[in-house]
Amino acid sequence: MNRKKLLALTNTSIGIFMAFANYNMIIIALPAIFKGLNFNPTSPDSLGYLIWVILGYMVVTASLVVTFGRISDLKGRARLYTIGFLIFAIASTLLASITSTGNLGVMEMIIFRLLQGVGGGLLMVNSTAVLTDYFDRRELGKALGLNQVAGLVGGVAGLIIGGILSIYNWRFIFVFSAVVGIIGTIWSALTLKDIQKPIKRSIDVIGNTLFALGITILLISVTYGLLPYN
């Protein structure tokens, strides 16, 4: 494995590690986050906020994954991967700097989490695509396998990291994500290049919009179906 391939593998593995770890870091740290924001998640009028804090990130990544993949093919996979890291870092910084409390503070967290989901979605989509550009058929399977292992490890490590950091301060979780995001942005910008030429085709705006809306409506319906009546 030459240097360029190794850099691509380690860079994309960090991205997919962070994308998976971030979700579990939030889950394990929710009690500390709600305590810091002076928010009671057990009250009936707070359940909607609670569900969106948990699922908002995944709603964005699930509904926009097809669109992100198409845009990356048109504009450059490595470029969009770097932009994903940058968006992820910015959203993490905003999350760490929330000063409001109560419902307003949680609403800000939901909005910034949705933005973070955009960055995480770009990382998830393009980590595999970048490896496909850098590795030939003989090595691609091994590279994709290692990349997925990094994601699985990130899911487990997120629980541990989130649990430890939340003991000291819940903001440290987002500071950690921001630092990794900044490092990843700089590193990917310096080391990753678009090997495959962007595809010169138009985006199916109607199809992608309908798909995103359909997935979003489905997830929202299931989400609010969990809320107790009255």
DSSP code of 43? S
- Using DSSP, state whether 227 is helix, strand or coil: coil
Q: Per-residue pLDDT averaged across 136-145, rounded?
A: 83
Q: Per-residue pLDDT averaged across 9-37, rounded?
A: 86
Q: Which domain holds residue 180?
A: 13-225
pLDDT in tens, 150-209: 888 988 898 898 889 888 888 999 999 899 989 989 988 888 887 776 666 666 677 777
Within a domain: residue 1? no
Instruction: Report the pLDDT value the prediction gives residue 87, as an integer from 0 to 100.
Output: 92
Reported as type and span, the H/E element at residue 187 is: helix 171-191
Within a domain: residue 163? yes
| Percent over 90 (pLDDT), the chain | 11
Within a domain: residue 74? yes
| pLDDT at residue 143 is higher than 80 | yes
DSSP code of 40? -
Within a domain: residue 212? yes
Within a domain: residue 22? yes
Residue 91's nearest CA partner among 66, 116, 73, 111 is: 116
Q: Decide if 131 contacts 143 (C-beta within 8 A).
A: yes
| pLDDT at residue 224 is higher than 80 | no
CATH of the domain at 22: 1.20.1250.20
| pLDDT at residue 94 is higher than 90 | yes
Instruction: Give dist(CA 81, CA 77) in Å, integer.
Output: 6
Instruction: Report the pLDDT value the prediction gives residue 112, as an integer from 0 to 100.
Output: 92
Here the tokens at position 149 are 């292992």
Instruction: Report the pLDDT value the prediction gives residue 175, as an integer from 0 to 100.
Output: 92
- Using DSSP, state whether 184 is helix, strand or coil: helix
Confidence band, pLDDT 50/70/90 cuts, at residue 43? confident
Instruction: Report the pLDDT value the prediction gives residue 201, as an integer from 0 to 100.
Output: 67
- Our count of domains for the chain comes to 1
Who has greater pLDDT, 69 or 36? 36
Residue where the block lists tokens 């989400």: 223
Within a domain: residue 7? no
Within a domain: residue 6? no
pLDDT in tens, 174-188: 999 899 989 989 988
- Using DSSP, state whether 200 is helix, strand or coil: coil
Within a domain: residue 117? yes
Kindly report whether the global pTM for this prediction surpasses the value 0.75.
Answer: yes
Confidence band, pLDDT 50/70/90 cuts, at residue 86? very high
- Using DSSP, state whether 2 is helix, strand or coil: coil
